[in-house]
Homo-oligomer: A and B are copies of this chain.
Amino acid sequence: MGNADYECPRHVEIPPSKSFFKALKSSLKETFFPDDPFRQFKNQPTSRKLVLGLQHFVPIIEWAPRYTFDFFKSDLISGITIASLAVPQGISYANLANLPPIIGLYSSFVPPLVYAMLGSSKDLAVGTLAVASLLISSMLGKVVSPTENPKLYFQLALTSTFFAGAFQASLGFLRLGFVVDFLSHATIVGFMGGAATVVCLQQLKGVLGLIHFTHETDVISVMKSIFSQVHKWRWETAVLGCCFLFFLLLTRYFIGHLKKGLNPPSVSDLAFGSPYLSTAIKTGIVTGVIGLAVGPCVPQYLEGVAVGRSFAAFKNYHIDGNKEMIAFGMMNIAGSCTSCYLTGGPFSRTAVNFNAGCKTAVSNIVMATAVMFTLLFLTPLFHYTPLVVLSAIIMAAMLGLIDYEAVIHLWKVDKVDCIVCLGAYFGVVFGSVEIGLVIAVAVSLLRVLLFVARPRTFALGNIPNSSIYRSIDQYPVANNIPGVLILQIDAPIYFANANYLRERISRWIYEEEDKIKSCGQTSLHYVILDIGTVGSIDTSGITMLEEVQKNVDRKGLKLVIANPRSEVIKKLDKSKFIEKIGQEWIYLTVAEAVSACNFTLHTCKPNPGEIDGNRHDDSV
């Protein structure tokens, strides 16, 4: 490898600083519009901009003219398939939410139509969500009893649906969709698995035909409740339930059973003046987030699930998370005005829709039409469905959500992710759904914070016959440079890790000194900090570097900086750190820094007095 490096070391120039507003604008764009959604509007006449804008917010206008009969055939089949899921699941989940069964059917009629117009996913099937249903019943059930005051309970459920929609839509409008990203995949797997377990346990009430049952959701309360009434178990229902469950698991088809007629309007039922409004808002926000976390992420999971299958051609479309949230929000606001409770894109139904070969959101329209026929003509058929059947339907859907394979995969690839996932699971199962959610969010946040607070530092060595410097830990072949300690800091330096890094760097230095003492090597003269991986620094970070520099000076060593990034060097310059250290000690690459150190070491052994007048010999 060339010695050209050593002959003409390149110093790092301080880039001209951008104006504050220019920097702010570019940083806001990166934060809120990373996907540049308005790209297509650029350089277009105003009329075209209007059409594009309408197509942007109501995607059906964009794709409807290109819709073909071939597409319709596929969508018809998948639409009818998901309708056959929607009717029994709708009834069962409404029952789980302690709402009248017919509400579940209403919820499979209006929202899918709204989504078909506003949504941009081609695979997502709209419907009620088991976990959100359970959350509604546990959160609202605390303030209003669904059996004693069903009218108020129903009104609160509608109101919370309204707020869920309003919250979802405003997240989308404000381009804050990324908050949902903070619920990691591992967390959702664990949380969903835990919720499915809890929902299944709750179904033991129906399966065993018990009348009195605990209102708690944790596994210990449920088990106590079940085993304290062994004498009341009705073996007939248990046997029937097990058979039916088995049948459902085998066939995924079924029997099904209410009042005729389409959704009545329910704007007047929105209880904004209720004393329980705060509970409704809280429930709305929690279920709204859950609805988003298991909703728009679905296509991402599907891509993960269907690895190796080649559906690139029709998968080749882009989903704008923020736009999806607006669609979900609108769908729920419209739903809350037409007697529907919270809907989203349930994983199981979307997977069925996808596997049944849906091509566009028309499959949702087909499903809504099928549900409409059910509402108009078939509801009396469902009237005598036994509770045990509803329980079995719920359990069949829930068992699919306990994704133990994903847990094994997590354990293999990333242990921490697996622990996060299990934490969320056990939080839900042994605590409550709310506790599980809080644990899931807290653990996810804690992981991010811990990650930020404890960045790694590496000692670098020279890869033989090259000017490349890499971590000695990763490449044992890399050689130490005598008299020089090269450290790489693996994260942005700022308040959350500045104290840690100060301690860690001083430990690196004294460990190196100890090693040198015990081996009798060339004593340490230079500490090179490779800050090429430091993307950002704040004032606490700069103070930390100043302290490290002072500390290094005090030991009679010299601090050298390699490869500072644009933002970092600007800030170091503004805070006068560059002046203190000397711009000649800032190099473009580690190799150049090392060669400069070696040059000084070999030609004129550094006299620390020359480097720093305040040097003290008491090395500690």
Binding site for B on A (CB under 8 A): 1-5, 10, 15, 20, 23-24, 30-31, 34-36, 178, 181-187, 300, 303-304, 307, 310, 312-313, 316, 318, 321, 409-410, 412-417, 444-445, 448-456, 463, 465-468, 470-471, 473-474, 490-492, 494-500, 503-504, 506-507, 532-533, 535-536, 538-540, 542-543, 546-547, 550, 553-554, 565-566, 571, 574-575, 588-589, 614, 616, 618, 620
Contact = CB atoms under 8 A, between A and B. Distances in A.
Nearest to A455: B535
Given A316-B554, A574-B412, A182 B449 contact: yes
A185 B543 contact: yes
A491 B454 CA distance: 14
Contacts of A3: 2
17 contacts: A1-B1, A2-B2, A30-B454, A34-B507, A178-B454, A181-B496, A184-B495, A185-B543, A310-B614, A312-B554, A312-B614, A413-B571, A451-B494, A452-B452, A463-B588, A470-B588, A490-B535
A594 to B, nearest CB: 14
> Top 10 A-B pairs ranked by shortest CB distance?
A2-B2, A184-B495, A474-B566, A490-B535, A35-B503, A533-B533, A1-B2, A1-B4, A185-B540, A312-B554
A566 B490 CA distance: 12
A31 B186 CA distance: 22
Nearest to A450: B31
Given A490-B535, A554-B316, A474 B565 contact: yes
Nearest to A575: B413
Given A449-B445, A533-B532, A533-B535, A300 B618 contact: no
B450 A448 contact: no
Nearest to A474: B566
B616 A316 contact: yes
A188 to B, nearest CB: 9
Given A34-B507, A536-B451, A466 B4 contact: yes
Which DSSP category, helix, strand, loop or mixed, fits chain A's interface? helix
Nearest to A3: B2
B316 A448 contact: no
B318 A495 contact: no
A56 to B, nearest CB: 16
A495 B2 contact: no
Given A181-B497, A453-B182, A543-B300, A620 B316 contact: yes
A468 B588 CA distance: 9
A219 to B, nearest CB: 27
Given A34-B503, A186-B495, A313 B452 contact: no
B303 A550 contact: yes
B312 A539 contact: no
Contact of A182 (B410, B468, B495, B543): B495
Given A1-B467, A533-B535, 9 more contacts: A2-B3, A31-B454, A186-B539, A304-B546, A316-B618, A416-B538, A448-B448, A474-B565, A532-B533
A454 B181 CA distance: 11
Contacts of A468: 588-589
A34 B504 contact: yes
A465 B20 contact: no
Residue among A318, A417, A465 with max Cβ neighbours from chain B (10 Å)? A417
Contact of A539 (B2, B30, B413, B463): B413
A302 to B, nearest CB: 11
A273 B184 CA distance: 42
Given A448-B449, A588-B470, A535 B456 contact: yes
Contacts of A532: 532-533
Contacts of A307: 546
Given A5-B466, A453-B181, A414 B539 contact: yes
Contacts of A1: 1-2, 4-5, 467
A238 to B, nearest CB: 39
B536 A500 contact: no
Contacts of A466: 4-5
B455 A448 contact: no
Nearest to A470: B588
A369 B47 CA distance: 84
Residue among A414, A491, A554 with max Cβ neighbours from chain B (10 Å)? A414
A184 B540 contact: yes
A312 to B, nearest CB: 5
B535 A181 contact: no
Contact of A184 (B303, B448, B496, B536): B496
Contact of A454 (B34, B498, B550): B34
A452 to B, nearest CB: 5
A460 B484 CA distance: 29
A108 B491 CA distance: 42
